[in-house]
Every structure is written in structure tokens, then in C-alpha cells.
Amino acid sequence: MSFFTWPPETNSALMFSGAGGGPMLAAAASWEGLADALGSAAQAFSSTTSGLAGQAWQGPASAAMLAAATRYTSFLTAAQAQAETAATQAQAIVGAFESARAATVHPLTVAANRSQLVSLVVSNLFGQNAPAIAAAEAAYEHMWAADVAAMIGYHGGVSAAAAQLSAWPATLEGAFAEASGALANPVGALQVELGRA
């Protein structure tokens, strides 16, 4: 990663500029909302189709509908679980960002160090500022190391969160294959339904 070679002026400025964790928190809330909506839809759809198939509607067409509905409910439930995972991992990314930001040297501290160094060098006519210059440079190196360590932690936290995400479930193209097969001969299906009535 390039942040290994960036000076603290760059790493600190990047961590303290921008929108911060707000957009990712908003994304986490949106994922939570989507998960809730998918869960409610799965529950309502399952309840409705089970009620139809168990009481008012019987026969092969009902069985085909119930098979397709079960697949659709499974799809919704899997999508709900993945949305919940996405929300959790978005929150983990915010946590990694906040930890890294807290461990990063503030840009004003870096700027003050560099300004102090320039003043010491300019006024160092007889070498009297050599110890203070060395101390300022040592502090700067410490800032560099602290920023790199913060960025390594941030990168690790984000990578770990991203690794928890998996591909979204397959589309619903195959979910209705059984139902459409049963309804390929609608007249026959209707005759079977009427014969059972």
C-alpha cells in the first residue's frame, strides 16, 4: 500500500479530511432497513401462501404455487441475512475508521512540528539548536510511524469486514420453473382442479 511511503502530512490529512464515518453509518442504517423490509416481506408472503394452500386452494396448481412461493421465501430470507451482514460489516468499517483516526496524528500537530523545525534550522547559526532539531526530527519520525501503524490497522479492519461479505443469492429465474412446468398445460391443470372439486 502506498500509505507506507506517505509522510504524516499526507496520511494525517487524508484521515482528517472527507466525510468521516457518517456516510458508512448511513449505509449501515439503509442495509438494516432493507433487511427489515425483506424479513417482513418473507414472513407475510409465506403466511399468505401457506394459508391459501392449506385451506382455500388445493390441487396440483396449488402445490406448484407453494413450491415456487417456498423458493421465493427462501430467496427473500437469504437476501435478508446478507443485508444484515452488510449492515454489520459497514458498522465494523466505521469502527475501524474511528480507531484509525484516533491513532492518527492530527494534521495541526504535524504542521506545528514542521514549522518548529524550520524555525530551529533558520536560527541555528552556531549549531546551538542541533539537539532541538534532532528532537523535532525524532518526533516527526514517530508521527510517521504512528500514522503508518494507524493505516495498517485501518486496512486490516476494512479487509476483515469485506472478507465477511459473500455473493448475493442467485436470481429468481429458476424459482418459478416448477410452477411454470405445472402450468404448461393450463387446461389439463384446470380439469384436474375441477375433477377434485
Q: What is the pLDDT along the chain (197 residues), one digit of tens a residue?
A: 688 899 999 999 999 998 999 999 999 999 999 999 999 999 999 999 888 887 878 888 888 888 888 999 999 999 999 999 999 999 999 999 999 999 999 999 999 999 999 999 999 999 999 999 999 999 999 999 999 999 999 999 999 999 999 887 666 665 555 445 545 554 554 444 445 44
- Domain identity same for 96 and 140: no
Residue 148 is assigned to a structural domain of this protein: yes
- Domain identity same for 93 and 32: yes
- Domain identity same for 133 and 90: no
* Number of independent structural domains in the chain: 2
Distances (CA, A) of 104 to 22, 25, 107: 18, 21, 9
Domain with 110 in it:
106-163
Residue 58 is assigned to a structural domain of this protein: yes
- Domain identity same for 99 and 110: no
Residue 86 is assigned to a structural domain of this protein: yes
Residue 10 is assigned to a structural domain of this protein: no
